[in-house]
């Protein structure tokens, strides 16, 4: 598995391209504004078969180029049921967007424990509500990699002052992630990579969260 990162859009959202180097199958995680063309072009130049789009949550900065990539790849779209409505009707979560975003109907609604394959790799869904009701992470236990969306950043966590955020739910989500192996590499929705072990504060998030 190889992961390419495309920081894009006004808040530098990390769009991730997951690549199975054995099968050349690829999946996009959170296609941000401006990342769609980059990902589509990268896949073409490297002979990749783009098949799936995985959404950690439905905030506008993570789905702005969803329609573009989904149409180009005829891709399947995976999202948690609690965030699916905002994918179909962007902005229905009450969070204003600086751009107009066309809604898309997800093909798959995924929950805790569901598994998604990308080529020969397998990603398990971990429910991590708090930043949004349907926030999820994707975990490849074999590779020791977590795609954390806006639940966990390097030395920080996703905003909890937004219309559908729930601080108490975020506490439980961070406590859950803190139980993963410390060597787990974390690819967040914004900013640089980290590891679970580097984020020792998650073991007692009640002291760290400010809300």
The tens digit of pLDDT for each residue in 115-150 reads 999 999 999 999 999 999 999 999 999 999 999 999
- The domain in which residue 190 lies consists of 2-91+104-208
Q: Give me the CATH number covering residue 44.
A: 3.60.15.10
pTM confidence score: 0.96
User: Would you say residue 77 has pLDDT above 90?
Assistant: yes
How many structural domains are present in the chain? Answer: 1
pLDDT band at 210 (very low <50, low <70, confident <90, very high): low
Give the mean model confidence (pLDDT) for residues 78-94.
Answer: 97
Give the mean model confidence (pLDDT) for residues 105-112.
Answer: 98
Lowest mean pLDDT of 55-64, 90-99, 109-118, 186-195, name the range. Answer: 90-99
Q: Exposed, middle or buried: residue 210 (CB in 10 Å: 0-12, 13-18, 19+)?
A: exposed
- Under a CB-based contact definition with an 8 Å cutoff, are residues 121 and 20 in contact? yes
Instruction: Determine, yes or no, domain membership for 85.
Output: yes
Instruction: Determine, yes or no, domain membership for 40.
Output: yes
- Under a CB-based contact definition with an 8 Å cutoff, are residues 134 and 57 in contact? yes
Mean pLDDT, the chain, integer: 96
Structure tokens, 42:
């990268």
Q: What is the pLDDT at residue 98?
A: 86
Instruction: Determine, yes or no, domain membership for 99.
Output: no
3-state secondary structure of 168: helix
């Amino acid at each position: 598995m190889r992961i390419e990162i495309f920081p894009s859009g006004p808040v530098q959202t990390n769009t991730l391209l997951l690549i199975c180097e054995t099968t050349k199958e690829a999946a996009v995680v959170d296609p941000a504004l401006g990342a769609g063309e980059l990902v589509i072009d990268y896949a073409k130049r490297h002979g990749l078969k783009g098949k799936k789009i995985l959404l950690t949550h439905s905030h506008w900065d993570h789905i702005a180029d969803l329609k573009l990539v989904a149409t180009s790849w005829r891709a399947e779209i995976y999202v948690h049921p609690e965030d699916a409505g905002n994918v179909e009707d962007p902005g229905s979560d009450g969070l204003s967007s600086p751009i107009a975003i066309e809604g898309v109907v997800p093909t798959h609604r995924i929950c805790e424990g569901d598994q998604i394959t990308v080529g020969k790799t397998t990603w398990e869904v971990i429910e991590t509500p708090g930043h949004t009701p349907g926030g999820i992470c994707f975990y490849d236990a074999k590779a020791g990699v977590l795609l954390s969306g806006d639940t966990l950043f390097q030395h920080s966590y996703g905003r909890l002052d937004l219309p559908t955020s729930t601080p108490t739910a975020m506490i439980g989500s961070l406590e859950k992630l803190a139980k993963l192996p410390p060597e787990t590499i974390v690819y967040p929705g914004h900013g640089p990579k980290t590891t679970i072990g580097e984020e020792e504060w998650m073991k007692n998030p009640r002291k760290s969260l400010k809300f």
